Amino acid sequence: LANTAEPSDFSAFRALAASAADAFEVPEGYRAHVIAGYGDQFANEDGTLTYGFNNDYLAYFPLNGSQEGLLFINHEYPAPFFQHGVTNAANKTAAQVQLEQDSVGNSILHVKRDADGIWGVVSPSRYNRRITGNSPTLQFTGPLADNAAYPGIGETASGSLANCSGGITPWGTALSCEENYQDYPGLGWDQARTGTTDYVNGNGSTLTSPAKYGWVCEHDPYDPSFVGRKHTALGRFRHENTAFRAVADKPFVLYMGDDVNNGGVYKFVSDLRFRPGRREENLKILTSGKLYIAYWAPQSRRTFDAPGGNLTSPTGGTGYWREVTEAELVDTNARIAASVGSAEFQLHYATNRPEDVEVDEDGTVYIALTNNSTANDTHGSIRRLHEAGNDPTAVGQGAQFTWEDYAAGGPTGRPGTGEQGFSSPDNLTFDKAGNLWVVTDISSSVLNNPTNPNAYHRNNAVFMLPRSGPNAGVAFRFANMPLEAEATGPYFTPDEQTLFINVQHPGEETPNRGGVYGTVETYTSYWPKGNKTTGQNPSKPIPSLVAITKLPDVETDPDGDDTP
Ligand code: FEO
Ligand code: CA
Ligand code: CA
Ligand code: CA
């Protein structure tokens, strides 16, 4: 993350205009290539594996620099309409429920660039692996594991689900965040799977039961025998992602957001110190420590007098970190709100749906506050937090932070140049040239609404925002998603010659817009095999993993005599 002004292959491009085409669009000079999509099969030495649905987070773990590596990928949630056509949970067969359970969790894919620079999956490979909604067994760690006071948790969980975004650790593991775990009883998984409901929130109506899901999970992509872990010390909430700050011989710090309207921003500070190179010790770091929630002054939420109206809240202030008690870990948001009082929670802890949190190399914490209808915040913002003394391990009395809203969503920018503003920021990443990359997640129901306040924005997109210079904070549009898709998981290879993007839920509104399962002409996106806008090749939309690479510079004067 060196902010060295070193030119990135992805920092100089001609920005795209907004688009409503059913296509994955990149600027001239770049190429977007699908590596894998839902249903694709790959193999390891034990057999065949199927790539899951709704890919979200991804991270690249090198095997051979930026030419060959492992992609750790989240599959967030199933979509019964697209997978088998039965949307009423009561009517699903056991096999249909099993298909859904097998389609979530994580994929570990061995990938490699060929001689033409095209990425593909290496198969068979011993590294290729799936973690699904019910296998393998993951181990609980931390204060609530196998603790009689929290009887719904126990020692282990079967599989992982609701894996939204995630993070990496400096000891070479991947963290995967279980986010909307409350949705699964509604899919009919509880009856079908165990006959009990204790693994998730009972009937889903309250968030007060101990449970097997809603945790940050840790996996080692390099080691197929590694037993995944669920870390109770990091709390149980709608975990979006993790972003670490690691200093040798200091406690390890992990920032996290609770992606729900009026959710909080959290920080974990480990009991153990981070020791570079001492992997076995570092693997214990997330098992014990203290969790804190940000207290924001003068108020935590960015509020407006009406949707699209005038801002009624300050754009900066101060804050501190309030310790989360052990009893609050199990249902973090609700129990803190109960403890401090809901009015106090709303005023000083609640934020506008924190999606990704990322730490810049100078220690600044960037938080994507995506939007919040209860605060009339239609377009969201990106907030920056600066720890007092730049020391994130100092907490409690006197340990303050300052914050400011760095970039606001909305139809600003410079129309006509492709620089129209972003809206509903979700995942974030940095490049070496010092730019912030932002992907957007405007919900498809909003995009399809005739009175859509995001009409200027059109399809979801990938933006680059310089953090300094004359264009600081301007959103340059780098890529457009196909219809009704969200861009997720932006991740650069170490050499920044490749940007991986996951395309999630193309055509997701099909069942709400009269679409018929199996009648492909009725699907609201045909991507990636066809194009709804042009009518070419009607086909079922497929959530897919894409690699964007720069095309070789065109040699216009190969003999150097100044004539083309
Ligand atoms: Fe699954 Fe917070 O997005
Ligand atoms: Ca997200
Ligand atoms: Ca989102
Ligand atoms: Ca999503």
Q: Which is the closest atom of ligand 1 to the Cα of 257?
A: 2
Residue with tokens 């939420």: 301
> What distance in Å separates the CA atoms of residue 217 and residue 162, rounded to the nearest whole number?
11
Which range of 1-5, 38-42, 204-208, 407-411 scores highest in mean pLDDT? It is 38-42
- Which residue has the least CA distance to atom 3 on ligand 1? 164
For residue 48, how far is its CA from the centre of ligand 1 (angstroms)? 29
Distance between Cα 164 and ligand 2 center (Å)? 6
Ligand 4 centroid to Cα of residue 504, in Å, is: 7
Nearest ligand atom owner, CA of 543: 4
Query: Residue 562 — very low, low, confident or very high, per pLDDT cuts 50/70/90?
Result: low
CA-based nearest residue to 499, from 5, 13, 2, 170: 13
User: What is the CA 26 to chain-centroid distance, rounded?
Assistant: 21
In this predicted model, which residue has the larger pLDDT, 412 or 150? 150
> Which of the ligands is closest to the CA of residue 370?
3
Under the banding of pLDDT at 50, 70 and 90, the label for residue 93 is: very high
**For range 407-423, the mean pLDDT:** 75
**Confidence class for position 423, pLDDT limits 50, 70, 90:** very high
Distance CA 54, CA 326 (A): 33
Q: How far is the CA of 483 from the centre of ligand 2 (A)?
A: 18
Ligand nearest to the backbone CA of 54: 4
Quote the CA–CA distance of 355 and 347 in Å, as a whole number.
19
pLDDT at 194: 40
Q: Ligand 1 centroid vs 260 CA: distance in angstroms?
A: 9
* ipTM reported for the complex, 2 dp: 0.92
pLDDT confidence tier of residue 191, bands split at 50, 70 and 90: very low
Q: Residue 446: what pLDDT? A: 86
Contact criterion met (CB below 8 Å) for 129 and 72: no
449 vs 273, more confident: 273
Ligand 1 atom closest to 76 (CA): 1
If you measure from the C-alpha of residue 261 to the centroid of ligand 3, how many angstroms do you get, rounded to a whole number? 11
Taking only the tens place, the pLDDT of each residue in 66-79 is: 999 999 999 999 99
Q: What's the rounded mean pLDDT across residues 175-179? A: 97
Contact (Cβ atoms closer than 8 angstroms) between residue 413 and residue 474: yes
Q: What's the mean pLDDT in 142-154?
A: 90
Output the pTM of the full model: 0.94
Kindly give the distance from the C-alpha atom of residue 276 to the centroid of ligand 3, in angstroms, as a whole number: 34
Q: What is the pLDDT of residue 193?
A: 46
Residue 206 has what pLDDT? 35
The pLDDT of residue 199: 36
Q: Looking at 145-159, 269-283, 486-500, 512-526, which range is the least confident one?
A: 145-159
Task: Check residue 211 and give its pLDDT.
Answer: 83
What are the tens digits of pLDDT across the range 521-535? 999 999 999 999 999
Contact 123, 43 (CB under 8 A): yes
Identify the nearest ligand to the CA of 505 by its number: 4
Q: Which ligand 1 atom lies nearest to the CA of residue 180?
A: 1
Residue 514 gets the label, from left (phi > 0), alpha (psi -120 to 50) or beta, of left
Question: Does residue 36 sit in helix, strand or coil?
Answer: strand
Rounded mean pLDDT, 313-329:
96
Q: Does pLDDT of 209 surpass 70?
A: no
Report CA(306)–ligand 4 centroid distance (Å): 26
Which positions ≥6 away from 250 have C-beta within 8 Å?
273, 274, 393
- pLDDT beyond 80 at 248: yes
d(Cα 508, Cα 237) in Å, to the nearest integer?
25
- What is the SS3 assignment for 467? coil
Relative to the CA of 56, which ligand 1 atom is closest? Answer: 1
Grade residue 453 by pLDDT with cuts at 50, 70 and 90: confident
Q: What's the DSSP call for residue 277?
A: T
Name the β-bridge partners of 266.
256, 293
What is the per-residue pLDDT for 192?
38
Percent of the chain past pLDDT 90, that is, above it, reads 79
Atom of ligand 1 nearest to the CA of 164: 1
pLDDT at 201 over 70: no
For the CA of 162, the nearest ligand: 1
Ligand 4 center to 464 CA (angstroms): 20
Residues, Cβ < 5 Å to ion ligand 2: 355, 426
What is the per-residue pLDDT across 491-500, written as a single tens digit (0 to 9) for each? 999 999 999 9
Ligand 1-lining residues (CB < 6 angstroms): 76, 164, 179, 240, 259, 355
pLDDT score of 197: 40
- Determine which residue's CA is closest to atom 1 belonging to ligand 1: 164
Q: Which of 456, 458, 462, 457 is nearest to 440 (CA)?
A: 462
Ligand 1 atom closest to 179 (CA): 1
pLDDT band at 557 (very low <50, low <70, confident <90, very high): low
Number of the ligand 1 atom closest to the C-alpha atom of 441: 3
Ligand 1 nearest-atom number relative to CA 353: 2
The CA 490 to ligand 1 mean position distance, Å, reads 14
- List residues, by chain if needed, whose CB lies under 5 Å from ion ligand 4: 486
